[in-house]
Amino acid sequence: MIIVMQRGASDAEIDAVVARIREHGLSEHVSKGSERTIIGAIGDERPLEPRHFEPLPGVERALHVVKPYRLVSRETQPEDTVVSIHGVRIGGPQLQVIAGPCSVETPEQMALSAAGVRAAGCRMMRGGAFKPRTSPYSFQGLGVEGLELLLAAARPAGLPVVTELMDVRMLDTFMEHDVDVIQIGARNMQNFDLLKEVGRINKPVVLKRGLANTVSEWLMAAEYIAAGGNHHIILCERGIRTFETAYRNTLDLTAVMVAKRESHLPVIVDPSHAGGKAWMVPQLARAAIAAGADGLLIEMHPSPCDAWCDADQALSPAELAELMDSLRLIAQAVGRTL
């Protein structure tokens, strides 16, 4: 950590900073510039925080020079992590497209969804049983029944499933039903107790980036899971909140590139929630793969206009199949397979 002193800081003030650095078991390196004295803390600075120094008299600001994340950082593990779900590998040369409806509705809808996912050549399925909804008056998902409908449709089709866990008290149920991949939604990205719990299990986790969280906070949320012992983490970018109102969220592909550079974890993209409109999904999906994403999470519904939620962002089975064809060409262009 570097501590920049105010112009004309006194020796006593400098000594107080040095003392605090030593308290934390680090050593200091004082450099007196023409305008400012700058003090470097030498050693593992991770336990230090700017707030430990900024209140001290004479301190202008304190800044980290090393990244706060450790286990998920590429400095710690240079080679890519590949998460394997019953043989479906995410993070390797082959891209994965996880498709399915926003929410689980009926056995028929799920059977048609599973058929559509397979027909399009996707190897994993998504579906929401527990839905985070802005309004208490909106459909909240079928809950455990929905979980069972999802599995009943996906298992015979040989499709591992991804579904969202919202409430830490439901984790045991997810484990009993042997859900293949647990999704932590954007709104829960900093629900630290939930992160700690999924850090204790041995199941792949899809961690969505929060709507207004930085890449650094996203990686720190992954660090919570990794620190618990669970290293099967898949990051998912799903758009951020900006001033723009012409579309639901702003898909941030730079974040995908930076997350992959800073971390060894696989990163997938959810173009359906980002744009919020079905017509945007194919172009955003192609852009995501071109930017280096390891896969996609896409909403598909057997009959979009009748969907119980997010109807306007779901592709039809035919549109999904068509998208997969165009994605193959992009995958080739960036040296990947689909």
Residues 244-273 that bind a copy of itself (CB under 8 A): 244-247, 250-255, 257-258, 261
Identify the residue among 111, 152, 157, 311 touching a copy of itself (CB under 8 A): 311
Answer yes or no: are the C-beta atoms of 325 and 282 closer than 8 Å: no
Residue 44 lies near a copy of itself (rule: CB under 8 A): yes
**3-class state of residue 129 by DSSP:** coil
- Binds a copy of itself by CB under 8 A, chosen from 174, 224, 236, 319: 224
Under rule CB under 8 A, which residues in 277-306 are in contact with a copy of itself? 277-280, 283-284, 286-292, 304-305
| Minimum CB distance to a copy of itself, residue 321 (Å) | 17
Angle at 43 between CA 38 and CA 222, to 5 degrees: 105
Q: Within positions 157 to 216, which residues make up the interface with a copy of itself, using CB under 8 A?
A: 166-169, 187-188, 190-193, 196, 211-212, 214-216
Strand-pairing partners, residue 77, are none
Least distance from C-beta 1 to a copy of itself, angstroms? 10
Q: Are 72 and 222 in contact (CB under 8 A)?
A: yes
CB-based contacts of 112, cutoff 8 Å, min separation 6: 302, 317
- When binding is defined by CB under 8 A, the residue of 18, 38, 201, 321 that contacts a copy of itself is 38
Q: SS3 of 157, please?
A: coil
Separation between Cα atoms, residue 317 and residue 19, nearest integer Å: 65
Please choose, out of 86-94, 108-116, 130-138, 147-155, the segment that lies near a copy of itself by the rule CB under 8 A: 130-138
* Residue 2 or 157 with smaller CB distance to a copy of itself: 2
The Cα–Cα gap between 273 and 285 comes to: 12
DSSP 45-69: -TT--HHHHTTSTTEEEEE-SS-S-
Task: Pick the stretch among 48-56, 109-117, 145-153, 173-181 that binds a copy of itself (CB under 8 A).
Answer: 48-56
Can you tell me which of 19, 63, 119, 318 binds a copy of itself, judged by CB under 8 A?
A: 63
